[in-house]
Amino acid sequence: MKLRRSALLTVVALALAGRQVQAQAPAAAAGAAAPAAAGAAAPAAAPAGNIWSKICLTPEQKEACKRKICASPLFQLLGGALAPARAFSGGLLPPFCPPPGAANPADLKKPADSAEGATARIKQKEAEAKARRVAIRYLGTVDCRRYPEAEVALVNGLRADENECVRLEAAMALNRGCCCTKKVLEALVASVSGRKTNEPAETSPRVRATAAWALEKCIACYAEEETPTTSPEKAVPLPPPTPGEPEAAKVAMAVNRLTPDPLLEDARRVLTWHKRQATPTPQPTAEPALVPVPSDPIIQRTVAQIAVQQAEPVAKVVTPAQDLPRSGRRDMWSMWQHASR
């Protein structure tokens, strides 16, 4: 009987609650239709919380909860105390809260020309610089002729990246790698010379110095495929050598017929200019001024005596042994008696 009575009361309560909800729905619909008829576009309201959103949190609720936890001073203290343990764990204990310099996800949604949006985007790029350095270090070990995408990535890392360490990593990769093509040579020349191309001019001294080493190595092994200006069928045959023409003249004529590569010539000029700037010319040492010798003999003797006195060593003042009390009797009383004699 008790179970039946409780079940009956539960059904009645649910029925009454359903009637109240049905009565409130038309009023809410009428209130929402009035602003729409007036033409005012109101933003969508946040979904009301229920028991399911408290048990299974939405991503927005999880992010808000995480921000509140990370902003608490107690959790910051615990996170700082666990930093040595995370360092020795080898990555098994990742940090729960983002580092202090991490970008705020809410600021990334703001316009790029705003202060918060620009700051968040710069922080995100600087935080990803370490991963870009690792990737560029690996690209420096492959052949750019076999992997053209590696050539593009290395050139962009040297010329277009905002982080100085990434540009330095790209210069070191080109210095020790297997990538020396026409585009790479042009990028190295622009970096060493500090020219402004589509990218800003390079102003970092260590990036330019490392790029100069890579440029010198690239000049030595540069072998870009040259496209002939004329086809082999239309090539003009060389005149037959004269019987009395020396061999050196023949070689000189053959060398003069070859057109030098302007890119290589420009690269050599830039490298020579950089070496001159890096190695300062020694300044000539100033000779000591000659002191005029006086003509008066008295002044000459006086100057000679002063020079001799300055050259003589100063005699050391040695206290005679008889002026000190005997050994074994050098306490304060004996020294006072010795001094009062």
Identity of the highest mean pLDDT range in 9-18, 158-167, 215-224, 309-318: 158-167
Q: Which of 174, 265, 182 is nearest to 226 (CA)?
A: 182
- pLDDT for the residue 191: 94
Residue type, 34: A
**What is the C-alpha separation between 27 and 22, in angstroms, rounded?**
9
**What is the C-alpha separation between 319 and 130, in angstroms, rounded?**
73
**What is the C-alpha separation between 139 and 143, in angstroms, rounded?**
8
Q: Give 304 or 21, the one with higher predicted confidence.
A: 304
pLDDT band at residue 93 using 50, 70 and 90 as cut-offs: confident
For the chain, how many residues are written?
Answer: 341
- Under 8 Å between Cβ of 127 and 101: yes
Round to the nearest angstrom and report the end-to-end CA distance of the chain.
131
Cα 132-134-135 angle, rounded to 5 deg: 65
288: Cα separation from own chain's centroid: 48
Number of Cβ atoms within 10 Å of the Cβ of 154: 26
Res 157 pLDDT > 50: yes
Out of 15-29, 191-205, 213-227, 286-300, which region has the weakest mean confidence (pLDDT)? Answer: 15-29
Res 226 pLDDT > 50: no
Res 184 pLDDT > 80: yes
Q: What is the mean pLDDT of residues 156-179?
A: 92
Q: Which two tokens stand for residue 291?
A: 């002191």
Mean of the per-residue pLDDT values of the chain: 73
Q: Give 109 or 32, the one with higher predicted confidence.
A: 109
- pLDDT for the residue 104: 73
The residues facing 178 across adjacent strands are: 143
- pLDDT for the residue 200: 92
**What is the C-alpha separation between 170 and 194, in angstroms, rounded?**
16
| Whole-structure pTM value | 0.54
